[in-house]
């Protein structure tokens, strides 16, 4: 039986594509394991100060990884890892973590005066970018269920102008007049949201 060159070429291309896909899947799994080591299983952090990345918007995660990889955002613990990420790795990680279940709402946190928190966040229109339920969208972060100490750090970094990236101007504007106690109340409120 004679195999035509076109059929053979097509068959070989398919085999190479499948082999490449299997290698990529294996390396994606290794990347996920690396991420989960700090950010928690499937991106739900159990480590103080370490953000949960589960259910973050895909584009938001991609932007953050690119900012860290390119040095626009300084996160010392991530720099060496991010430098090794290809654009394909970043797209795959963004898609994977965006599909994960969101972190559970924090239980047993400090009591929060909801009326006072709403007086802080409503004029700043936080829900216009982060959505009514604070689940995030597009390039804006999911805030609901995020670790409160991480939220305080992020707000503090925006207020101080040390956090860089898309949306920095808007975030500086909303955080510049917040006092530390305000940030703690807002963070506790958002952490307790499902």
- pLDDT given for residue 4 in this prediction: 52
Q: Which residues of 8-26 are buried (b: 16+ CB within 10 A; e: fewer)?
A: eeeeeeeeeeeeeeeeeee
- pLDDT given for residue 164 in this prediction: 72
**Residue 140: phi, psi to the nearest 5?**
-105, 145
- pLDDT given for residue 134 in this prediction: 98
CA 71 from centre of chain: 17
- pLDDT given for residue 163 in this prediction: 87
For the chain, how many structural domains are there in total?
1
- pLDDT given for residue 7 in this prediction: 42
- How confident is residue 110, by pLDDT bands cut at 50, 70 and 90? confident
Four-point Cα dihedral 146, 48, 106, 153, nearest 10 = -40
Report pLDDT digits (tens) over 40-96. Answer: 999 999 999 999 999 999 999 999 999 999 999 999 999 999 999 999 999 999 999
Radius of gyration of the chain (CA): 21
- 156, burial (CB in 10 Å: exposed 0-12, middle 13-18, buried 19+): middle
- pLDDT given for residue 45 in this prediction: 97
The model's pTM is 0.84
- DSSP result, 22-88: HHHHHHHHHHHHHHHHHH-GGG---STTPPP-TT--HHHHHHHHHHHHHTSS--HHHHHHHHT--HH
- pLDDT given for residue 21 in this prediction: 41
- pLDDT given for residue 149 in this prediction: 97
Residue span of the structural domain in which 33 resides: 5-191
What CATH number has the domain bearing residue 99?
1.10.760.10
Report pLDDT digits (tens) over 127-182. Answer: 999 999 999 999 999 999 999 999 999 999 999 998 877 778 899 999 999 999 99
Find the mean pLDDT for residues 33-43: 97
Over 80: is that where the pLDDT of 6 sits? no
């Amino acid at each position: 039986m004679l195999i035509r060159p076109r059929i053979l070429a097509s068959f070989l291309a398919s085999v190479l594509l499948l082999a490449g896909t299997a290698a990529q899947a294996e390396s994606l799994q290794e990347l996920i394991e690396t991420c989960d080591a700090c950010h928690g299983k499937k991106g739900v952090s159990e480590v103080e100060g370490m953000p949960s990345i589960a259910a973050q918007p895909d584009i938001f995660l991609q932007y953050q990884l690119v900012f860290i990889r390119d040095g626009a955002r300084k996160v010392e613990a991530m720099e060496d890892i991010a430098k090794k990420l290809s654009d394909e790795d970043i797209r795959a990680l963004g898609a994977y973590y965006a599909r994960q279940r969101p972190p559970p709402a924090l239980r047993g946190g400090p009591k929060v005066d909801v009326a006072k928190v709403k007086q802080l966040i409503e004029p700043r229109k936080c829900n216009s970018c982060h959505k009514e339920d604070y689940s995030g969208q597009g390039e804006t972060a999911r805030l609901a269920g995020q670790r409160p100490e991480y939220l305080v750090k992020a707000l503090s970094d925006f207020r101080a102008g040390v956090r860089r990236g898309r949306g920095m101007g808007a975030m500086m504007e909303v955080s510049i007049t917040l006092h530390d106690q305000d940030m703690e109340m807002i963070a506790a409120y958002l952490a307790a949201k499902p």
